[in-house]
Structure 1
Amino acid sequence: MLSTINEAASIVQEKMTVNPKIGLILGSGLGILADELTESVHIPYESLPGFPTSTVKGHKGQFVIGKLEGIPVIAMQGRYHYYEGYDLKQVTLPVRVMKEIGITTLIVTNAAGGVNLSFKPGDLMIINDHINMLGNNPLFGPNDDTLGDRFPDMSKPYHPALIEAAKQAANDIGLSIQEGVYFATPGPNYETPAEVRMIRTLGGDAVGMSTVPEVIVANHAKLSVLGISCITNAGSGILDQPLSHQEVIEITEQIKDQFVKLIKGIVKKIG
């Protein structure tokens, strides 16, 4: 694992024209932000050792390195998911590589279903905590002490100072933003109405099929983490209509300008 991380990081560093301290993971339909980077270089995942192919529509499958609001960043334009058949060490390998090239802060984004009845499609939600119901963990197996502690603390998986910076950035652009708990399920099917009621009872405000493995590994690697969910639909059973990935892409397209402005504002504050 360590040799794969080092080899991939070395390839990325050879192509870098800036030295990013901020990493961005861009979820379904949110890859548009990577197109905002200036002085950018693109590194397809398939050109890196250990990186599988991204198979989900709306995920281009490449690193984009450049400047956002003049701040050097590295963006994942698309991510991997457990439901694609990859193990969680593969899913989180890009986080390990970003850590190795020198990032200290990770901003994780996703498209998610709204479970909180006050949420509506198009809302953006700051993640203040999560519940892992994937049935697995990327830290299972032998621990490499050079990558992180055997038993990492998860009392504050999302950094309070970054949460505050996100709230301030939202206020600066006049954006009303939600805050809540992200509930991770393995997918790939959407949840049943009974499952959505269970998630709400357990304390989830939004539900999705990603993010948590990357956040666990980022905390293991002692990165500061911020999470943002784009609420693309009401959870199953809340509205009398079927759910689809096409709806996810359509909603992210509608709110892309607000999303881009928000992340730019956050990067400017923390960069």
Structure 2
Amino acid sequence: MISEKEYNSKLAEARSYLIERVPSLPELGIILGSGLGAFADLVKDKVTISYKDIPHFPVSTVEGHAGKLVFGKVEDRSVVVMQGRFHYYEGYTMQEVTFPIRVMQVLGVTGLVVTNAAGGINPEFRPGDLILIKDHLNMMGENPLRGSNLSNLGPRFPDLSEGYNSEWRKKALAIVQEHEIHPHEGVYAAMSGPSYETPAEIRHLRVIGADMVGMSTVPEVIVANHGGMKVLGISCVTNMAAGILPQKLSHTEVMETAERVEKKFVNFVQGLMRVL
């Protein structure tokens, strides 16, 4: 675990590298989950930078994650889009997983839209549904804020009673019907992965209040809240979780479902840019 001084030095290097290459600083960050990268095609006046070229940035290793930062405009909003994310199960530390959120923070980003592909636990959900995250369960066994507090970036004990901004959720719910989306909200449970959950684990998660499950998002949301950002979360239900239906799980199914609902997802997030 690196020191606060060393971490801030790495942040400063990444910030300097990006500021030299982008025409304007973003106000809104967007993280695109597995198979949902097509939203980046909407960005106008774009500047695309590969993760591998940014100082101290991790590199995506999972299918469906392009590994690029895209700067530009969507609906006249200055945005930075993460076309692919990093996962704890890839072997990265929590500080490495959330480093891009810290970079967004020091670039001046004040709001984050985070998306993911998730397994459905709530029996009312179906593959292809887009669900607004109203709360989460951190079942990963780790917290990205563990260790010395980065006092220049946020408080030692950040409040997560509204980890997913209620005002933004209301605005999102107000436009779901025009995008042919059921007005679902749910609780997202984050597991460490990379193995899919067992049927027993899914039964446990259902009992304690989870509606969908995945292997990402929660570390990023914790760090974004620590840094004072507003957060909106969207899960794309790409499959039903283990034991909900009598079939085995595969990443291929995740990618196929994400591809099938890609247009609906892109239109919805584009609509959000007009109201957030």
TM class, shorter-chain normalised? over 0.9
Are positions 1:105 and 2:111 aligned together?
Answer: yes
What is the SS of the residue equivalent to 1:203? coil
Identity of counterpart residues, as a percentage? 51
Work out which of the residue numbers 90, 96, 99 in structure 2 matches 1:93: 99
Q: Give the gaps of 5 or more residues in structure 1.
A: none
Shift of 1:169: 2.3
Alignment of 1:50-199 (within 5 A): 50-199=56-205
What is the SS of the residue equivalent to 1:150? coil
Alignment of 1:219-234 (within 5 A): 219-234=225-240
Give the Cα–Cα distance (whole angstroms) in 2 for the partners of residues 266 and 182 of structure 1.
Answer: 20
Q: TM-score, normalised by structure 1?
A: 0.98
Q: TM-score, normalised by structure 2?
A: 0.96
Give the Cα–Cα distance (whole angstroms) in 2 for the partners of residues 177 and 81 of structure 1.
Answer: 28
Shift of 1:7: 1.1
Give the Cα–Cα distance (whole angstroms) in 2 for the partners of residues 109 and 262 of structure 1.
Answer: 12
Give the Cα–Cα distance (whole angstroms) in 2 for the partners of residues 236 and 252 of structure 1.
Answer: 18
Q: Contact between 2:101 and 2:223, CA under 8 Å: does it hold in 1?
A: yes
Alignment RMSD: 0.9
Give the Cα–Cα distance (whole angstroms) in 1 for the partners of residues 67 and 77 of structure 2.
Answer: 22
Structure 1 letter corresponding to 2:148: P
What is the SS of the residue equivalent to 1:136? coil
What is the SS of the residue equivalent to 1:15? coil
Work out which of the residue numbers 211, 215, 223 in structure 2 matches 1:217: 223
Q: What do the CA deviations read for 1:93-112 (whole angstroms, capped 9, x no partner)?
A: 00000111111100000000
Shift of 1:71: 1.7
Q: 1:239 — aligned with what? A: 245
Shift of 1:144: 1.8
Q: What do the CA deviations read for 1:111-163 (whole angstroms, capped 9, x no partner)?
A: 00000011010000000000001000000001121011000011110000110
Q: What do the CA deviations read for 1:39-73 (whole angstroms, capped 9, x no partner)?
A: 10111111112112210000011100111122211
Aligned residues: 270
Give the Cα–Cα distance (whole angstroms) in 1 for the partners of residues 159 and 255 of structure 2.
Answer: 35
Are positions 1:42 and 2:54 aligned together?
Answer: no
Shift of 1:171: 2.6
Q: Give the gaps of 5 or more residues in structure 2.
A: 1-6
Q: What do the CA deviations read for 1:3-34 (whole angstroms, capped 9, x no partner)?
A: 11111011111111233211000000011111
Q: 2:20 — aligned with what? A: 14
Shift of 1:173: 2.6
Are positions 1:257 and 2:273 aligned together?
Answer: no
Give the Cα–Cα distance (whole angstroms) in 1 for the partners of residues 167 and 25 of structure 2.
Answer: 23
Q: Contact between 2:49 and 2:69, CA under 8 Å: does it hold in 1?
A: yes
Which 4+ stretches in 1 moved above 6 angstroms?
none
Give the Cα–Cα distance (whole angstroms) in 1 for the partners of residues 260 and 272 of structure 2.
Answer: 20
